[in-house]
Structure formats: structure tokens, C-alpha cells
Amino acid sequence: MTYHDYDPARAAINSAGQSFVRSEAKVVDLDGEEAAMGTLGEIIMSGSPIMKGYWNNPEATAEVLWIARRR
């Protein structure tokens, strides 16, 4: 989770903001490995502020929280 005011009129390549306290953010490639600087990737988050799962839906939870299980 990050926080940063967003204004579409001022859209540009920029920071997504800072991660919350007790959380970690990184960019990973399609294999889930940390992406090299300047390459495409997906932002992932971990830490206590992140959800524990979808209510009564373990299948959906397993699809989106796979990185945490690999550690």
C-alpha cells in the first residue's frame, strides 16, 4: 500500500509514493523474481497492513497472495 495524491491532469512517470509502515514493496518480473532497474514488472506488497485474504474465498486469495507463500 502506498500513498500519493493523484491528479490525472499532471500524469507523468513518477513515484507511486512511499510504502506504509511495516510493509515492503518491490517490482517483480513474470517469474516473480525481482525485476532489474529499467525493466517492466509488477509492484507487489507485503507486510502487516496487507489483507489476509478474501472473506470466505480461499481460491481467490490463493491467486493474489502467491508471493507470500513462496518465501
Judge whether 4 lies within some domain: no
Supply the pLDDT for residue 6: 64
pLDDT tens column, 43-62 = 888 877 778 889 999 999 88
**Whole-prediction pTM value?**
0.55
Judge whether 52 lies within some domain: yes
**How large is the average pLDDT for residues 26-51?**
85
- Classified as helix, coil or strand, 4 is coil
Tell me how many domains the chain contains. Answer: 1
Q: What percent of the chain has pLDDT over 90?
A: 11
Q: What is the CATH number of the domain that holds 60?
A: 2.30.38.10
- Structural domain including 54 reads 21-70
**How large is the average pLDDT for residues 67-71?**
50
Cα distance between residue 61 and residue 22, in whole Å = 21
Judge whether 14 lies within some domain: no
Q: 62: which residues sit within 8 A by CB, 6+ positions away?
A: none
